[in-house]
Amino acid sequence: MNAKFSPSLMCMDLTRFREQIEAMNDKAAFYHVDIMDGSYVKNITLSPFFIENLRKITDVPIDVHLMVNHPEDIIPMCLEAGADIISFHPETANNKIFRLLMQIKEAGKRCGVVLNPATPAAAIMEYAHLLDKVTVMSVDPGFAGQQFIPQTLDKIRQLIRLREQHGWRYLTEIDGSCNAATFGQIAASGVEVFIVGTSGLFSLADDMNDAWARMEANFSQQIAAA
């Protein structure tokens, strides 16, 4: 399986920002940047300023996940800061989804949406042809370290079936509790991109090269055992 890994940078050691990014630059398929506003979710994390500084030290695509009530306010700042992919929750933009997706695409960047555990796959039907990526939350949004919700894997399978039936081209991605305990069952869903955070990557070793090697070993062992 040719899995793609996207480190969740809200989980990294920010006191070692350059060191850890430079260690991952030749390994990561994407860098996942969570922006939370303290309103849509009760947490505040990274920012367009973080994207701007990340852009200075990497060519890896920067994938922004907006957990905010007004994505229209943040999207222009993310574009200006150097984001490559911007995704938001459809619940926050029901009356402007097409406009926001086209704004991102017209800037020459990729766009996506993020589906909460309780949001069905069918929610994307009207605009799926515009999407470059669909992210499925396998935990409720807002905080790291939550318990994995296995029912979300059926949603990934549905999204892949819909993509094949309609000729759409979005990547499927999973966000939440991707680690040695869940890699096998997640991979069996067919998902292409794994977002890895504290339990899946950053807590595995102090040295980032060692942590990445252990993550890949955990993934391979889980695939072999499945």
Question: From the annotation, which residues make up the binding site for substrate?
Answer: 65, 142-145, 175-177, 197-199
Q: Annotated catalytic residue: which of 34, 37, 63, 84?
A: 34
Burial 78-96 (b: 16+ CB within 10 A, else e): bbebbbbbbbbbbebbeee
Q: Which of 4, 84, 70 is nearest to 37 (CA)?
A: 70
Q: What count of residues does the chain have? A: 226
Q: Which amino acid is at 59?
A: D
CA distance 217 to 226: 14
Which of 201-210's residues contact partners 24+ apart within 8 Å by CB, and which partners?
201/5, 201/7, 201/11, 202/7, 202/11, 202/12, 202/13, 207/23, 208/19, 208/20, 208/23, 208/24, 209/23
CA distance 179 to 186: 10
Binding residues for a divalent metal cation, as ranges, are 32, 34, 65, 175
CA distance 170 to 54: 25
State yes or no: is 34 an active-site residue: yes
Q: Annotated catalytic residue: which of 37, 59, 175, 206?
A: 175
State yes or no: is 206 an active-site residue: no
CA distance 40 to 70: 9
Sheet holding 85-88, edge to edge: 4-7, 193-196, 171-175, 133-137, 110-115, 85-88, 62-67, 31-36
Binding residues, as ranges, are 32, 34, 65, 142-145, 175-177, 197-199
Catalytic site positions: 34, 175
